[in-house]
Amino acid sequence: MPDGTAKPVSLRGVSFSYRGTEVLRGLDLELSEGQVCALVGDNGAGKSTIARLVVGELAPASGSVLLFGQNAQRFRNWALVGYVPQLPPEAVSRFPASVFELVDASQYASGRGLRARQRRERSLEALGRVGMDGYGRRLVRELSGGQLQRVRLACALVGDPRLLVLDEPANGLDKESREVFYRLVSQAHAERGMAVLLVTHDLAPLEQLGCQVVEVAGGLAHKSHGAALGVV
Amino acid sequence: MLGYVFMQRSLLVGVLLGIVIPLVGVTVVLKRLSMIGDALSHTSLAGVAGGMVAGVNPVAGAVTACLAGALCIEAIRRRFREQSELAVAIVMATGIGLAGVLSGFVPNASSFNSFMFGSILTVSPEETLSIVAISALALLLCALGHRELFLMSFDERHARAAGVPTDVANVAFVVVVALVVAVASRTVGSLIVSSMMVVPVACALQLARSWRQTCVIASLVGVLTTVLGLVVSFYAGLKPGGTIVLMAVALLLLVFLGKKLASLAR
């Protein structure tokens, strides 16, 4: 069981290689309750790899990755985590689901034991929080890029998680949509106080979010301005 | 037509497969594994030929080969996560190769051919029972696991993060697909079953406004075209398997045409 007092994210001495190329070596990183941390760096620096290690999608070659004190690979309490991974465009282009169906199904772990009516209320509330009320019956594939990312944020927030992991969530969005998206993240953090791990190569939202910045380069995490984590 | 017991049985089997094949087809198509039906049906042919050569029940051979093929697809898919369609192509190539080689040793070639294009009109009571059982199993899985199938069809990473045990769910799903393909290859034919898995779903994707509607419309199209195909083949003296698929393709073309006309009228 996850330790209720453990930090949401703790990486110690983590190394990872992709097809023989070392991406991370001996990386240490911790994220406490309520902290907002942005991982920045060049393409291929390993930012998304860190996010994928955190949610247990990838296993480290060495070192430990703990999610709420539990090995991320064996972590099961997904109600504690909201995750917006990068999404291939073809996943959406012909997917025949309504917005409401997607948010409802995303309560797979967090909505366990709830009645359909209760899940529905939570879905509507989550859509309202991201300004997408009234879009429930719309097909996911009919949304604009900005609207889709707001719906995906609603999917991640609907279970009221204690950790939100966002992997390049504003990729491909115009300036206005990016600002709206990050404002919603900022609001959600202010209201609920969850820890946020943001992977981005876009530096513009960092001030808006008031987050601590960790630059990933050379397989390591380096402190940047305001960073309280990123132990190297 | 309904006075014949063999037609009553064919219709029962046809309706069941018309519901179940497109229903599992929704997830197959949306997971971009449309070729999985082809791969498993060719693998089932290898199993049929192997069963005939070894002197065991060819349907048992088809089921065994399909299950082995399905598990291989899942194992290769995990090895090459970035190129999941590669797994299907490898198993299909192996299935075609094995079916081709083993068919040379089959003592009764006409019996083997019946598995290629199916023989829904000659389904025995025992085969009907096995189809009812496997259809019930597939329906149960789709009903109980609809949220898992929905999330995995959208994106496996999203599904995993939502808490779906994707590894277990994927194996369970391909096993059910394999069982459905194996029993359907005897009735509608190995070379036709993958069309029944894809074409009704293509129709549904044109019309549906939700995942639930997609599943319902795909199954309705499956049942409608199967029944129509059986009736037409009975009166016109055509082979039922091929007629069923042609009905589905004709309906898909009608849907395309209807949508085009509707958009012009707007």
The answer to whether residue A3 sits within a structural domain is no
Binary contact (A94, B30; C-beta < 8 A): yes
Question: Is A17 strand, coil or helix?
Answer: strand
Mean pLDDT of A187-191: 90
Looking at the partner chain, which of A78, A101, A102 has a beta carbon nearest the beta carbon of B163? Answer: A78
- Number of independent structural domains in chain B: 1
Is A48 part of the contact surface with chain B (CB cutoff 8 Å)? no
The answer to whether residue B248 sits within a structural domain is no
What number is the ipTM of this complex?
0.84
Range of the domain at A132: 9-224
Residue-level pLDDT at A26: 85
The answer to whether residue B47 sits within a structural domain is yes
The answer to whether residue A192 sits within a structural domain is yes
The answer to whether residue A31 sits within a structural domain is yes
Binary contact (A85, B158; C-beta < 8 A): yes
Query: A177: which 2 tokens?
Result: 């949509």
Euclidean distance between CA atoms B59 and A125, whole angstroms: 52
The reported pTM is 0.84
Range of the domain at B104: 5-191
Is A227 part of the contact surface with chain B (CB cutoff 8 Å)? no
The answer to whether residue B258 sits within a structural domain is no
Is A108 part of the contact surface with chain B (CB cutoff 8 Å)? yes
Instruction: Quote the DSSP letter at residue A153.
Output: H
Euclidean distance between CA atoms B217 and B201, whole angstroms: 8
Residue A91 has pLDDT above 80, yes or no: no
Q: For residue range B193-242, what is the model confidence (pLDDT) as tens digits? A: 888 999 999 999 999 999 999 999 999 999 999 999 999 998 998 888 88
Euclidean distance between CA atoms B74 and B170, whole angstroms: 7
Identify which of B41, B38, B64 has the alpha carbon closest to the alpha carbon of residue B51: B64
- Number of independent structural domains in chain A: 1
Pairing state between β A220-223 and A21-31:
unpaired
The answer to whether residue A2 sits within a structural domain is no
Euclidean distance between CA atoms A63 and A43, whole angstroms: 23
Mean pLDDT of A215-220: 71
CATH number at residue B180: 1.10.3470.10
Pairwise pLDDT comparison (A98 vs A175), residue with the higher score: A98
Residue-level pLDDT at A156: 94
CATH number at residue A57: 3.40.50.300
DSSP letters, B124-184, are -HHHHHHHHHHHHHHHHHHHHTHHHHHHHHH-HHHHHHHT--HHHHHHHHHHHHHHHHHHH
Query: B102: which 2 tokens?
Result: 């083993």
The answer to whether residue B84 sits within a structural domain is yes
The answer to whether residue B109 sits within a structural domain is yes
Is A83 part of the contact surface with chain B (CB cutoff 8 Å)? yes
Residue B159 has pLDDT above 50, yes or no: yes
